[in-house]
Amino acid sequence: MRVTVADVQKMKQNGERIAMITAYDSSSALIAERAGVPVLLVGDSLGMVMLGHSTTLPVTLDDMERHAAAVMRVSQKALVVADLPFLSYATIEDAVSSARRLMQSSGVQAVKLEGGQSITPQIHRLVDCGVPVMGHLGLTPQSQHQIGLRVQARHKDEARQLIEDALALEAAGAFALVLEVVPAPLAAAVSERVSIPVIGIGAGAGCDGQVQVWHDVLGLFEGRPPRHAKRFADIGAAMEQAVRAYADDVRSGSFPTDAQSSTMDPDELATAIASLDHKDH
Ligand SMILES: Nc1nc(=O)c2c([nH]1)NC[C@@H]1CN(c3ccc(C(=O)N[C@@H](CCC(=O)O)C(=O)O)cc3)CN21
Ligand SMILES: CC(C)C(=O)C(=O)O
Ligand SMILES: [Mg+2]
């Protein structure tokens, strides 16, 4: 049985912190599950860390559907949430048809949408239709050309707006929400004021849970990692070392050996070659 939306809400009620990490493919989803992570996010960050885009904006529903399906095919335990990508939930109709693809075709259990009061009509409709919705406030990367990639809601008006947005998401039926790169005291205040789980990223220790990008945690992301990211290992360096050893062994001739090869009866080969020679003349 997979972790459910209700299980995650119970974790907040029990004061258990919720660990969430992004997953974009089958092998990493399995590793995350073996490591005991209860919630996986097929994030549109896949555009940047998997597909080489410099923002999340070019990510399509096709991209999300393919990666979400890969995660769902092999994972068994985690609650899997997938981002609705940029401009795929601009209207209620868009939101419903986008959620349909990720839930019916990929099979994820919930979707995540960026935005507050302005998208509560979409959230209401999805929830009415049986789609669990995770909200996302603060630094919402799909709006980066409007708001930048910097700390959000540091001043009273935006802070008040953010709290109102969080309450609006809860009222619209969101089961949880992500708070990205906002001041820690504000995130703590939001977490106290809503009864749904608040999952932070760069939002301090006062949230009900945390989410990080797979590549940031493992040291796989090329380029300057965001300030909110923590590297728990340098797997990128380990991968490079292994691939270099492989390429060196190919060049030196020490790979492959008999262990990676198969043999045949020398008579079979000799006969095959002899019959070839006959044909040539
Ligand atoms: N590898 C990766 N990690 C992420 O957390 C992540 C992605 N990619 N792609 C999608 C979004 C984009 N995100 C980002 C990207 C950059 C910053 C950034 O540049 N932050 C500033 C700090 C903000 C401030 O303190 O004002 C920084 O200097 O790192 C923040 C969030 C979070 N998500
Ligand atoms: C950073 C998380 C919250 C996200 O939305 C993503 O990975 O796309
Ligand atoms: Mg995202």
- β-partners of residue 1 are none
Whole-number pLDDT of residue 224: 81
In this prediction, the residues of the chain whose per-residue pLDDT falls under 70 are 278-281
Third-level CATH fold of 5-233: TIM Barrel (3.20.20)
- The whole-number pLDDT of residue 280 equals 54
- Tell me phi and psi for residue 226, to 5 degrees: -60, 155
Q: How far is the CA of 185 from the centre of ligand 3 (A)?
A: 23
Using only the alpha carbons of the chain, give its radius of gyration.
24
Q: Is there an atom of ligand 2 within 6 Å of 211 CB? A: yes
Nearest CA to ligand 2 atom 5: 43
pLDDT at site 221: 82
Q: Is there a contact between 199 and 178 (Cβ–Cβ < 8 Å)?
A: yes
In angstroms, the CA 119 to CA 135 distance is 10
Domain ranges across the chain: 5-233, 239-280
Q: Is 268 a catalytic residue?
A: no
- Alpha-carbon dihedral angle through residues 255, 258, 261, 267, given to the nearest 10 degrees: 140
**Residue 85 near ligand 1, beta carbon < 6 Å:** no
Tokens (6 digits) for 238: 């380990």
Q: Give residues with Cβ within 8 angstroms of 97, minimum separation 6.
A: none
Of all protein residues, the one whose alpha carbon is nearest to atom 7 of ligand 2 is 43
Beta partners for 81? Answer: 41, 110
Residues 74-118 have pLDDT tens digits of 999 999 999 999 999 999 999 999 999 999 999 999 999 999 999
Determine if ligand 1 sits within 6 Å of the CB of residue 48: yes
Query: What is the per-residue pLDDT across 154-166, written as a single tens digit (0 to 9) for each?
Result: 999 999 999 999 9
Q: What is the DSSP string of the chain?
A: ----HHHHHHHHHTTPPEEEEE--SHHHHHHHHHTT--EEEE-TTHHHHTT--SSSTT--HHHHHHHHHHHHHH--SSEEEEEPPTTSSSSHHHHHHHHHIIIIII--SEEE--BSGGGHHHHHHHHHTT--EEEEEES-GGGHHHH-SS----SHHHHHHHHHHHHHHHHHT-SEEEEES--HHHHHHHHHH-SS-EEEESS-TTSSEEEE-HHHHHT---SPPPTT---S--HHHHHHHHHHHHHHHHHHT-SS-GGG-----HHHHHHHHHHHHHHH-
Please give the model's pTM, rounded to 2 decimal places: 0.96
Angle between helices 156-172 and 184-193 (to 10 degrees): 30
Q: What is the pLDDT of residue 279?
A: 62
